[in-house]
Structure 1
């Protein structure tokens, strides 16, 4: 059953004389009640060999669930085989439903809610690893597979929209509380939004309204399928961080379209491009050598060239580095928003609430300290100890972990 846009909850933007909500108090995300307003952001776990749910993947999310987070997000659940970033990624379907249900049950027993980041990697997919060519808005070479990425046809987009719907139904039946539709980082939907990646002359390209068509179509189709049986959110970009990417102005315009459609319960505000400028998302040190060593040849060789080294730009880390751009979204929109990007301190989380954001999403801070939320809530800590060296990033192919300390999660 489709949900009426008028029934979607508005953001709890504090009035001048109303105290900001407590980030550690229970809150609602659409139809879902969360024990607090903290979210473990989707970061690839590297624990799904053969594309299956493993005990190690469950333990990875159990650590942050037991550590106090309100909602933990399982990363990169692909809707189709060609939509995987690489072959060791879960494709949602009947063959993976049992493992996903086992994971949802475990997270619920720990007191947290569970989200699945539902996506199609588009041009970020490694077609050589997947054994099927990647798709994008327009034809382009892939630096990952050294193959050409194929331009998606109308038939492809119809099929992929159905794939999103089928994945959504499987995850809801498996007990997932939230579906996060991946519309950022140059994944398929994001590749349609970016004018530099979308050179189409048909009804899927040109003005933003046409480039936004796929994302809006997917959001509506998923909502119509799941109704109010779960929350549906989307990850979108405050800026792609490359010439020809989605700008902040276009991001706000796109967000306003999604808000007017009424299919989503919240937006998570991210940025950067896994394909064109990944460090725009992460900020901090750039571990070029470690990245090169983790890549297969010839990508490893390419990263050692001047062009390859230039791909991994360096952006100094600052706390809540997307806040300034995200505030522009907060001013333009009334729907709930999640603030992401370098959130490590209790006072940053409190400021986000005062700014009118509804949830805070954390990534590297929880990788280093899975129990950080519980310690912040209890006043036993004021900030995390992550040093933003980003050496965790190259470990995604061998089990994502903090390399500064002993691995907090089992690797096998």
Structure 2
């Protein structure tokens, strides 16, 4: 068992550590936060500069997000398209991270019901016909032959990532994107072998994992980002997600699970916690939809107060389940004491998002002075900057983009 829950020894946060076939310089991973710096689906200098800031700031591995496996899989504007035609720019990206002294992971996914026709040009897909309560778009049911096609597209994108020099791939099986939507009884009403029992609803994810592993072997580490629960009645909860993770872990293909929660379909603040930025959400909408957000936004997004380490309790439920992979803790990690608590609780790595958006050099500060507290105030004004260029509103130098592609 690779988890540390059975060991009394607490690892050094800042020492090198193995993750599958790779070695990270420390146990801190920059969590995926969709950048919005790829207007043509390609790498830009602005994207390189954005991520190099985290590596130069001490983060062991940064995560390039969000990398769509096909044009129909985009979740927001300005995301990377992980296809072979973009290989040259992707190689420049990974080389820049390696030159800066860190590693880099590529988050691969397909938005499914989270997608919007205004971005992809096609109607979104879901396991079953489904009305997205946030975008008010009907999703059509994905056909079985399309499921097979998506499995191959995941494998194709994983191979491109490996050829581009990425050290790891992160398969996005969370937040009710297409794979996660199959897990959810709320969305998945299928009557075939991809619906019904937990085993059936996990089948799509398992087939993706096996296809990816067959294609890339041990060239890169494989991380699975997966929702523990999404805070939606009748959807994903711990009793089933632990079973799903157990099934995936038993394939022996996963090097680490990054445990997350919440969704990008509804009740989004269940993931983010902290202030609910209604004005930020309204700014992404037009006409009557903008008015609707102002009137009903808090009901739609939800309101959840911020707590340090707010995913820890749920994440610990997976420690007895996972036998082959390591575990990455996410959520409410803002200083050294939080990281130390994660290590003491048996997690191998931590993933940090908003705290590093606020201070890209936070990890170097923690190395120099462990009592340093991160400056993120969890106002969540960064949450909707994904529709322009993802940034902390207090860090202006990260608020610009570039239209030149590499």
TM bucket (normalised to shorter chain) is: over 0.9
Maintained 8 Å contact 1:127/1:145: no
CA distance in 2 between partners of 1:174 and 1:355 (Å): 35
Maintained 8 Å contact 2:134/2:300: no
Matched, 1:69 2:59: yes
RMSD over aligned CA atoms reads 1.5
Maintained 8 Å contact 1:238/1:322: no
Equivalent residue of 1:64, what SS?
Answer: helix
CA distance in 1 between partners of 2:264 and 2:44 (Å): 25
Alpha-carbon spacing, 1:100–1:262, altered in 2? closer, same or farther (3 Å): same
Maintained 8 Å contact 2:53/2:360: yes
Matched, 1:279 2:269: yes
1:66-215 superposed matches below 5 A: 66-143=56-133, 146-215=136-205
Alpha-carbon spacing, 1:143–1:174, altered in 2? closer, same or farther (3 Å): same
Deviations 1:312-335 (A, max 9, x none): 111110111000011111233232
Deviations 1:293-323 (A, max 9, x none): 12244432331233x4311111110111000
Alpha-carbon spacing, 1:58–1:405, altered in 2? closer, same or farther (3 Å): closer
CA distance in 2 between partners of 1:359 and 1:138 (Å): 35
Matched, 1:316 2:305: yes
CA distance in 1 between partners of 2:135 and 2:395 (Å): 33
Residue equivalent to 1:244 = 234
Maintained 8 Å contact 1:252/1:329: yes
Residue equivalent to 2:351 = 361
1:252-291 superposed matches below 5 A: 252-291=242-281
Deviations 1:147-180 (A, max 9, x none): 4211111100000000001000001000001010
Maintained 8 Å contact 1:129/1:145: no
Matched, 1:342 2:332: yes
CA distance in 1 between partners of 2:354 and 2:304 (Å): 16
Maintained 8 Å contact 2:77/2:387: no
Residue equivalent to 1:230 = 220
CA distance in 2 between partners of 1:175 and 1:67 (Å): 21
CA distance in 2 between partners of 1:296 and 1:26 (Å): 48
Maintained 8 Å contact 2:35/2:79: no
Residue equivalent to 1:10 = 2
Maintained 8 Å contact 1:83/1:121: yes
CA distance in 1 between partners of 2:52 and 2:287 (Å): 35
Matched, 1:370 2:360: yes
Q: Please, which moves more after superposition, 221-230 or 136-145? A: 136-145
CA distance in 2 between partners of 1:351 and 1:259 (Å): 25
Alpha-carbon spacing, 1:23–1:202, altered in 2? closer, same or farther (3 Å): same
Deviations 1:373-410 (A, max 9, x none): 11112226522110000011121112111113434454
Q: How far 1:15 moved relative to its partner?
A: 2.1
| Gap regions ≥5 residues in structure 2 | none
Deviations 1:118-147 (A, max 9, x none): 001100011232111111111112456544
Provide the TM-score with structure 1 as the length reference. 0.94
Alpha-carbon spacing, 1:209–1:351, altered in 2? closer, same or farther (3 Å): same
CA distance in 2 between partners of 1:141 and 1:287 (Å): 24
CA distance in 2 between partners of 1:398 and 1:77 (Å): 16
Alpha-carbon spacing, 1:380–1:324, altered in 2? closer, same or farther (3 Å): closer
Alpha-carbon spacing, 1:182–1:204, altered in 2? closer, same or farther (3 Å): same
Deviations 1:165-198 (A, max 9, x none): 1000001000001010000000000000000010
Q: How far 1:94 moved relative to its partner?
A: 2.0
Maintained 8 Å contact 1:197/1:244: no
Residue equivalent to 1:401 = 391
Alpha-carbon spacing, 1:144–1:282, altered in 2? closer, same or farther (3 Å): closer
How many equivalent residue pairs? 401
Equivalent residue of 1:50, what SS?
Answer: coil
Alpha-carbon spacing, 1:298–1:80, altered in 2? closer, same or farther (3 Å): farther
Alpha-carbon spacing, 1:374–1:164, altered in 2? closer, same or farther (3 Å): same
Maintained 8 Å contact 1:136/1:191: yes
